[in-house]
Amino acid sequence: MCVALGGMVGLAASAVNPLYLLGAMAIGLASLWALKDARRGLLIIIAVIALLPRIASPVSIGFKPTLLDGGLILTFGAWLLFGRGARAQAPSPASAITWPMLALIGVAIATFIVGIPNGALTTLVIRRFAELVGTLLMVFVFVDILSWRGMMRRAVQGIIVFGAMAALIGIFFYLINNDLAIRLLSSLRVFAYPYGDGVLRFVNDDPAGLKRAIGLWIDPNAFGGYLMITGAIALAQAFSPKPVLPRLVVFGCLGLIGLTLVLTVSRSAMLGLAFAALFMAALKYRRLIPVMLIALALILILPQTRNLVQHFAEGFAGKDLATQMRFGEYKDAFRLIERYPVFGVGFTDTPDVDLYIGVSSMYLLIAQQMGLAGLTAFVLVMLAFLVDGFRAWPRIRAQEPRAAIWLGAFGAILGALLSGVLDHYFFNIDFHNSVTLFWLTASLAMTAKQQDSKALTDF
C-alpha cells in the first residue's frame, strides 16, 4: 500500500504542479473533517468568507470552483447525511420567510431563463447564477444548523474573531509599500485573483488621492460591507451583559474592524454601521449613544480624518466623481427598468445596445435583472423577516446573550438594507461571498429569536 500510494503521489507530482497537489491534500483532509459534522462546515464558510473570499481552484473543471462553493457543498452534504437538528421537534424559525423566499427563487429562475437570448450564456454566468440560487436555498439549512446545540454561540465567536483577522490583513496591505502590496496580491493570480496595478484601489481611481483598504477582498466597497456586518455583530456583544467572548477580546476585535472600515472609505458601509448602532441604542443599549457622539466628534475634529470628512461632504453635496457616476447609473437603470418593467432582462446581458446591466444600488440591480416582480419578491422576503423579528423582540429582550445576538444580526441586516441603496454587492451574482454573508446573517437573526433554541449552550 505504501509503494502504491507513493507511486501515485509521485506520478501526480510530476504531472501537475506539486503545490496544487499539496493544496488538494489539505482540502481533502479538511473536507473529510467537515463532512462529519455540518457545524464544522458552517465554521469553514465563515472563515472562508473572511479570509479567503475570492480564492478559486487553479484547475478548471469546465469552470473554476471557489473555496466558498466547496464549503457550501460540504455543509449541505454533512447536513443531509448526518444532520440531527431540531426540525422534527419545532417549526423552523425561517418559516416566516418560506413562501416569499420560494417566490423569490422562482422569479429568479424564470427571469434567468427568459433572459438567456439576451447575451452569451457562459459557464461563468451559469455558475454564478447557480451560486445565487444555492445560497438562497441554503438559508433553511443555515437556520437549522444554527439551532443545534452550541452552534449559534460558536458562529458569533467565529464571525467576530475571523472578522478581526480579515481586518488585520486589510491593515497590513494598507500600510505596506504599494509595489510590495501589488506583488503579493498579484501572486494570487493562479487562484483567479486580479493582478497588476489595478489591485490597489484609491478614491476616484486616483493614485494621488485617498488609498482604500481592500484586504483579500480587492473590492473596497464589498470589504467595507463585510466589516459593517461583522462590526454590527461585535458591537452588540461589546455592550451585552453576557458577551460570547471575553469583553476585552470583543473590544479589541471591534477596534480592528472599525479602524479598517474607516480605511476602506466606504461611505455606504459606514452609514450602515451607524444605522445599526442607532437601532441597538434605541431598542436596548442606551450606553451606545454617548459612545457614538464621542466617535463622531473625534472624526470631525481629528486632522487624520479631515480627508474622510471632506469625502463624505462632497458625496452628500453630489460634487465628487463617484457620486456623479452613481447618478448617471441610476438614470440609465431607470431607463432599462422602464423598457423591461416586469421581468427585467435576466442575468446575461441586455437586448438593447444602449442599455447595460450594472448600477450601484442593490434594489435597482434586482429590478434590472429580475424586474419589478423580482424586486417585489425580495421586498416581501425582507418585510416578512423584519415583521417576524420585531414581533419576537419583546419575548427575547431580557434573554441574554440571545438578545445581543439578535440585535447584532438584525441590526447588521438593517445596515445592509440601508447600504443597498448606494451599493449592490449583497444581491449580485458577481459577489457570492457578500451574498452568502448577507443570508447567513439573516439566518443568525432568525435563529436567535427562536424561543426554545439550545443553540446558546456549549457542546
pLDDT digits (tens, 9 = 90+) for 290-313: 988 888 888 888 777 777 888 777
Of 53-62, 159-168, 172-181, 420-429, give the lowest mean pLDDT range: 53-62
* pLDDT of 350 higher than 70: yes
Q: Cβ atoms within 10 A of the Cβ of 64, count?
A: 17
* pLDDT of 18 higher than 80: no
User: Within a domain: residue 455?
Assistant: no
* Strand, coil or helix: 115: coil
* pLDDT of 89 higher than 50: no
User: What is the number of alpha carbons within 13 Å of residue 339 lying toward its C-beta?
Assistant: 15
What is the per-residue pLDDT for 153?
93
In this predicted model, which residue has the larger pLDDT, 323 or 47? 47
User: Within a domain: residue 456?
Assistant: no
Highest averaged pLDDT of the listed ranges 193-197, 396-400, 434-438: 434-438
What percent of the chain shows pLDDT beyond 90? 63
pLDDT tier, 252 (very low <50, low <70, confident <90, very high otherwise) = very high
User: Within a domain: residue 94?
Assistant: yes
What is the per-residue pLDDT for 245?
95
Calculated CA dihedral for residues 270, 275, 280, 283, nearest 10 degrees: 170
Q: Cβ atoms within 10 A of the Cβ of 452, count?
A: 8
Distance CA 87, CA 323 (A): 47
Distance CA 204, CA 214 (A): 15
* pLDDT of 358 higher than 50: yes
User: Within a domain: residue 459?
Assistant: no
What is the per-residue pLDDT for 63?
79
Instruction: Give the single-character DSSP code of 325.
Output: H
Distance CA 291, CA 47 (A): 30
Q: Quick one: how far is CA 364 from the chain centroid?
A: 19
Average pLDDT over residues 88-112: 83
* pLDDT of 454 higher than 60: no
What is the per-residue pLDDT for 453?
53
Instruction: Give the single-character DSSP code of 212.
Output: E
The residue type of 2 is C
Average pLDDT over residues 173-177: 94
Enumerate the β-bridge partners of residue 66.
Answer: 56
User: Within a domain: residue 454?
Assistant: no
User: Within a domain: residue 368?
Assistant: yes
Give the domain range for residue 200.
2-448
Distance CA 106, CA 93 (A): 21
What is the per-residue pLDDT for 272?
96
Average pLDDT over residues 363-376: 96
What is the per-residue pLDDT for 456?
61
What is the DSSP annotation of 28-91? HHHHHHHHT-HHHHHHHHHHHHHH-TT-B-SS-SSS--BHHHHHHHHHHHHHHHH---STTTS-
* pLDDT of 261 higher than 60: yes
| Number of structural domains found in the chain | 1
On whether the CB atoms of residues 177 and 183 are closer than 8 A, the answer is no
pLDDT tier, 344 (very low <50, low <70, confident <90, very high otherwise) = very high
Average pLDDT over residues 113-130: 92
The x, y and z cell numbers of residue 193, run together, are 485573483
On whether the CB atoms of residues 436 and 135 are closer than 8 A, the answer is yes
Compute the Cα dihedral for 223, 225, 230, 232 and give only its sign: positive
Q: Look at the block and give the residue holding cell 447595460.
A: 356
Instruction: Give the single-character DSSP code of 187.
Output: G
